[in-house]
Chains A and B, each alone.
Chain A
Amino acid sequence: MIRKTEPAFIAPYLRDASNFSGGSAEEIVIPETSDELAIFLQNEIRPVTIAGAGTGLTASRIPSGGIIISLELLNKIGEVNEGRIQVGPAVTLNELQSFLIPSGWFYPPNPTETWASLGGTLATNASGSRSYKYGVTRDFVEEVELVLLDGRKTVLKRGLKITEPLKFEDGSQILFPDISYQSPECKNAAGYFVRPGMDWLDLFIGSDGTLGIFTKIVLRLLPCPADFVSGILFFTEERSCWKLIPKIKSFKGQKIDPCSLEYFDHNALDRLKSKHNNIPSHSRAALFFEQDVLELKNYDLVMENWYEFLSAENIMLDDSWFAQGTKDIKKFHDFRHDVPIIINEENSRAGRVKLGTDMAVPDKFFMPMMEFYQETLKIYGLDYVMFGHLGDNHLHINLLPEESQNDKAKQVYDQMVDQILEWRGTISAEHGIGKLKKKYFEKMIGADGLNDLRKIKACLDPDNRLGTGNIL
């Protein structure tokens, strides 16, 4: 186990992708095994914050005092065995994906940030563009080895319900508290996941590093699709793109059945033109779609189905792009990934802190949500970029105010939160709450909801020492 107290060694762990500053820690501890970690924790009384790869957007890994435990040495990738793979929490998405290429297996969750550690993606229940069809990280976790802050250890398998006690290696057990809170029905990463009769495993996934520490993870894989039918569609009107979404969704499970539906508004396209000069000049919106094709023999049929469907819609079909081969598909994913990169560069040039939404609503409010966003942004007259997971009614709106417009930007954000909550949506569908969105989270679930979550926290970390300051 490595233990360091030098400020120079600790400094890099006091940052993540949120630009949040002001964190501090007394010591950094880097265990080499889960047993070593468990023994260490049994004798530790200081607050503990868990560090993954530092790609988070909500400052969850930035401590205010206490110690940091970095899991970076728990980085082993196991072999694929009957569609399961065991990984250490420090293995990155990139590493897992490269490892799986020759195996014929496929890990569907694809958060945009591929340098994220898998432990981090469990902590936030990360999703990404393919969640529209495949689901989120939670849907692909089969088992974890878990260490509580008091050093108790257990292997948590899928199927162990919260109606049963959670048992530990030392023979002790914990019962799930009696609470009435339930998580919203849309895609959500805000607060603990709570549903009646759910698995214990699902409580820990998405708990933002506040309930327990993952030291091993067993993921479920799917056979790698033979290919993807994939394209970027361009539209002369943003509304034409929105209108296509309910139509595509109505085919779900049938011949048109995409796994990703990603949106780019005209402001996103204008910025992308600097890197992709083939974007049709009169396009005002774009939609990236991809549909997995399990067997190669079906590829042409899927392609024909899309051709038939799209030919009758209001799309710039001759100017739209279609992938032929993995190189093009990668190009499309890069196109999507370039949006936040360009915005981040623009923000740092302007010395601006990122102000981005991560809200989602249930399906039936999709069109009202789009109309509301457009109307609200027009009234306030701020520069902005809108992009993201249209299939999940989950958009990222990055507000790009001039310095004098900062208050206005906060007003826009608040107004959006109020409206989204009225529709029983979520203020964070994939980034998590961390330390930055707590004010809005309280608004979202109310004092009773927060009390219920505190009861869960008290069962597992009675002294409130793990991930202090996150969520609650």
Chain B
Amino acid sequence: MKIIVCVKQVLDTAAQIQIENGRVVSPGSSRIINPYDEFAIEEAVRIKEKKPDTEITLLSLGPEGVKDSIKKALAMGADKAVHLMDAKFEGLDSYALAQVLACAIEKIPYDLILCGRQAVDVDRAQTGPALATFLDIPFVTVVTGIEFSDDFQNAKITRQVEGGSEVRELPLPLLLTCQKGLNEPRLPSLKGIMAAKKKEVLTLSALDVETLDIGDNRVIEENLCLPPERKKGIILQGSEEEISGELVRLLREEEKII
């Protein structure tokens, strides 16, 4: 089986961010693999463990720094990677990005494409479904379980729906976007890290992937601001009577709620 895993690099979810000149800055913070994409990578590696002739290709788009995340995903067990890097890709919206990815994928054989359910930076959850649409293959989003038929030609997919789950059976090829709960992503082994250094990473520009005119579907950020700071809480101490008395006083005199 041939699997493509789409991987996006995002700012560490634990980073403390500031906004300067309309851009998010976070000096000293690291960049990580989008946590939902880690579920996709882990699932691909688990499929390969069950079916050893599987080949896992990573597909990632972004600046040079993305190579760090590619290296990590290779250490987890992917076989090779394609890195799409071009200034022309900067600021593209999800629709245009999906077009670029679709062009790149035309040259890579696949039976299954795995994506994260969404990237935790912009939270749009569009690229995966759009990519499937451009490739004209079925897709299932928010996937929490994958089971293959014995011949790996069909898959029984569990997806999360409000208050429960939905199970669908589909033939391959198909695209799935992975949700938390699908698996627990592994930490790479030392052997995996050493082996990752020797794995192939192919870097392609806009010209290389022969993107058709992707137009100017760009997102223009008009303004960015941090959420308003929350008022600090107060912890009341003392006996039950003291606390309740003080609480009533605060609500009445200071907050003027009662």
Q: Which residues of A contact B (CB under 8 A)?
A: 7-9, 11-12, 98, 101-104, 231-232, 277-278, 300, 303-304, 306-307, 310, 317-328, 330-331
Contacts and interface: CB of A to CB of B under 8 A. Distances in A.
Nearest to A231: B190
B189 A322 contact: yes
Interface string B209-249: 00000000000000000000000000101110010001000
Contacts of B190: 231, 303, 306-307, 310, 317, 320, 322
Interface string B1-43: 0000000000010101000000000011110100000000000
Given A104-B28, A318-B189, A320-B190, 20 more contacts: A7-B238, A8-B246, A103-B28, A277-B184, A278-B187, A303-B193, A306-B190, A307-B191, A307-B194, A310-B190, A321-B188, A322-B187, A322-B188, A322-B189, A322-B190, A325-B30, A327-B12, A327-B30, A327-B32, A328-B187
Contact of A304 (B68, B194, B242): B194
Nearest to B13: A327
Nearest to B186: A278
Given A11-B237, A101-B27, A278-B186, A325 B194 contact: no
B237 A303 contact: no
B138 to A, nearest CB: 32
A11 B190 CA distance: 51
9 tightest Cβ-Cβ pairs between the two chains A and B: A8-B238, A321-B187, A102-B27, A101-B28, A102-B28, A324-B72, A326-B30, A327-B32, A11-B237
Q: Label chain B's interface by main secondary structure.
A: loop
A278 B184 contact: yes
B6 to A, nearest CB: 19
A323 B187 contact: yes
B59 interface: no
Nearest to A232: B187
Contacts of B12: 326-327
Contacts of B194: 303-304, 307
Contacts of B16: 98, 101
B180 interface: no
Contacts of A323: 187
B191 A300 contact: no
B188 A324 contact: yes
Interface string B45-78: 0000000000000000000000010011001000
- Chain A interface SS verdict (over half): helix
Contacts of B27: 101-102
16 contacts: A12-B237, A101-B27, A101-B29, A104-B28, A278-B187, A304-B194, A307-B190, A307-B194, A319-B189, A321-B189, A322-B188, A324-B188, A325-B68, A325-B72, A326-B12, A328-B187
B124 interface: no
Contacts of B184: 277-278
A95 to B, nearest CB: 12
Nearest to B189: A318
A324 B242 contact: no
Nearest to A276: B184
Contacts of B71: 324
A82 B184 CA distance: 44
B88 interface: no
Contacts of B252: none
Nearest to B35: A327
B197 interface: yes
Contacts of B68: 325
Contacts of A8: 237-239, 242, 246
Contacts of B242: 8
A235 to B, nearest CB: 15
Nearest to A321: B187
A317 B195 CA distance: 14
Contacts of B186: 278, 321
A24 to B, nearest CB: 15
A326 B192 CA distance: 18
Contacts of B189: 317-322
A100 to B, nearest CB: 9
